[in-house]
Structure 1
């Protein structure tokens, strides 16, 4: 257990540093947003370019991982949507945003920093795959359904077109495209360029954790504990379980794929979740969920890492 704590504690200490930087007014809200934008628009694309160009494409784009993690996430999304809309009789918009919170991890800001400390360089490959699943499948699906619910079934095609335009400007997907283009064409970048990319990629994990801590400062849970606890349970317990089942069925007991998938699935919900929730009238629920989910993930990730160690998944 002490070995697990030694791995997990530095991650949450960096989150705490970001929180205290805001608490002590070392950085302003706008400055902390700048750190987040640096991670999203510069460091993470550099990380993905490095991951894709340093390994053969057939190793990076692992079809087994894509299929297993994608089906696991999609299955949890479907279950959450059905539970919220059909059993709890909530609107489609509410169900879509709730399902999004349960099935999309904060892969870039939380999942990758944890995974790289535990499984090392392969974490960057898994990050690239998760970005594809989340940005091309789960998030667009949730937004289209939420938009359809808010418009009572009208304007679905318009929502789809708007979503596709946003995806085309997504810096993560642009980084993936550049990395694939370099790998396919076998372009040899000048050494100063590759060194700059390496430096930016190395900064992605620590800066992401710092930004998460700053984001948590000031978030409050106001009378929404029921909804928050439901989404947090779905994200930190049901999502990893769903992904584990699909990995067990599809990945043929591949220890590395299973470890990577579980570490990313056990991360809390995406940091953009409160922004999307606010857009559809769930601002307080989404903000409270992000705060509670991030804090609770300290416990759940520790448990999951402990179980993987016990069952020799991390051997």
Structure 2
């Protein structure tokens, strides 16, 4: 427990630094947007590509870990969808608000997950999280878009072509696909390119965590109601249990087991807010869920790793 806290404390401090930088207006909102785009379109794709291209997937438990995560996110999605009639009848939660609960419950923050894996496991942890991204990102992107299309208030359902375009233009997906291509064909990466990618990857994790802190809006939090509470704690309490259960079922142990717990324990993806705003979800509720999850995760993640890891 103490080792986990020691590994996570730098991440917490950097998150707090991002929050302080944004609140003191040292960096303007427009500048933060540029930093976020830099991390999203360049820095994180660089570390993903390098990790996947150079990973020895024959040595890693790729199949068992992938199956564990695929089953875990499938169960989580079905659980939240099954809860929708109850939430609507008991708490009058409408369609747009439900989409924010769905995204908050099933999606995950790759920035935080990669930083935690690097801190707790090292280079192998980054490679294991790359496996998680290969499995989870396309499935969760499609599911979120479909749920927002069905229950959101945009008035326009996305076409198959739009869903496909969102997937193949996603920089994470492009980096993952390119990394798999280089890995499978054993294409060598020149040493200069490797050094460049290493430098970009070294910048990705601290910049990404600073951006997470800058995105927090404590003033947006209101008295927690059913929508905010369920959207927060389904993700932070139930998801790690489901992930640990499938990891045990498929015999995943060691570092891969920790990587699964990290992927299932981190808060929801920060771009959930943008998707909610663009597709008729409840963007305000989504922002509140993301903020409360990030704060609560500082307690729940160490507990989950200590009890389940």
TM over 0.5, shorter chain: yes
Paired with 1:269 and 1:166, the residues of 2 have a C-alpha distance of 19
Paired with 1:5 and 1:190, the residues of 2 have a C-alpha distance of 38
Contact 1:19 1:215 (8 Å CA) reproduced: yes
Moved more, 291-300 or 123-132: 123-132
Query: SS of the residue aligned with 1:88?
Result: helix
Contact 1:271 1:290 (8 Å CA) reproduced: yes
Is the alpha carbon distance of 1:25 and 1:149 closer, same or farther for their aligned partners in structure 2, counting shifts above 3 Å? Answer: closer
Contact 1:109 1:208 (8 Å CA) reproduced: yes
Query: SS of the residue aligned with 1:187?
Result: coil
Paired with 2:219 and 2:166, the residues of 1 have a C-alpha distance of 27
Q: Which runs of 5+ in 1 are unaligned?
A: none
- What are the equivalent positions in structure 2 for 1:1-315 lying under 5 Å apart? 1-59=1-59, 62-86=62-86, 88-89=88-89, 90-91=93-94, 93-106=96-109, 108-150=110-152, 158-217=158-217, 220-222=220-222, 225-250=225-250, 252-279=251-278, 280-308=280-308, 313=309
Paired with 1:225 and 1:278, the residues of 2 have a C-alpha distance of 21
**1:32 to partner: Cα distance:** 1.3
The Cα offsets for residues 158-201 of structure 1, whole Å up to 9 and x where unpaired, read as 43321111111000011112112222332223221110011111
**1:218 to partner: Cα distance:** 6.1
The Cα offsets for residues 95-141 of structure 1, whole Å up to 9 and x where unpaired, read as 344222111111x2111111211111122223222223332112211
Paired with 1:4 and 1:129, the residues of 2 have a C-alpha distance of 22
Contact 1:104 1:270 (8 Å CA) reproduced: yes
Contact 1:48 1:176 (8 Å CA) reproduced: yes
Report the RMSD for the aligned CA atoms in angstroms. Answer: 2.2
If the length of structure 2 is used for normalisation, what is the TM-score?
0.90
Q: Considering Cα pairs closer than 8 Å and 6+ residues apart, tell me whether 1 or 2 has the greater RCO.
A: 2
Q: Give the 4+ runs in structure 1 shifted more than 6 A.
A: none
Q: Which runs of 5+ in 2 are unaligned?
A: none
Contact 2:97 2:227 (8 Å CA) reproduced: no
Paired with 1:264 and 1:16, the residues of 2 have a C-alpha distance of 21
Paired with 2:232 and 2:174, the residues of 1 have a C-alpha distance of 30
Paired with 1:71 and 1:2, the residues of 2 have a C-alpha distance of 31
Contact 2:14 2:213 (8 Å CA) reproduced: yes
If the length of structure 1 is used for normalisation, what is the TM-score?
0.89
The Cα offsets for residues 3-62 of structure 1, whole Å up to 9 and x where unpaired, read as 333212111100011111111111011111222111111111111111112223434681
Paired with 2:143 and 2:61, the residues of 1 have a C-alpha distance of 22
**1:149 to partner: Cα distance:** 3.3
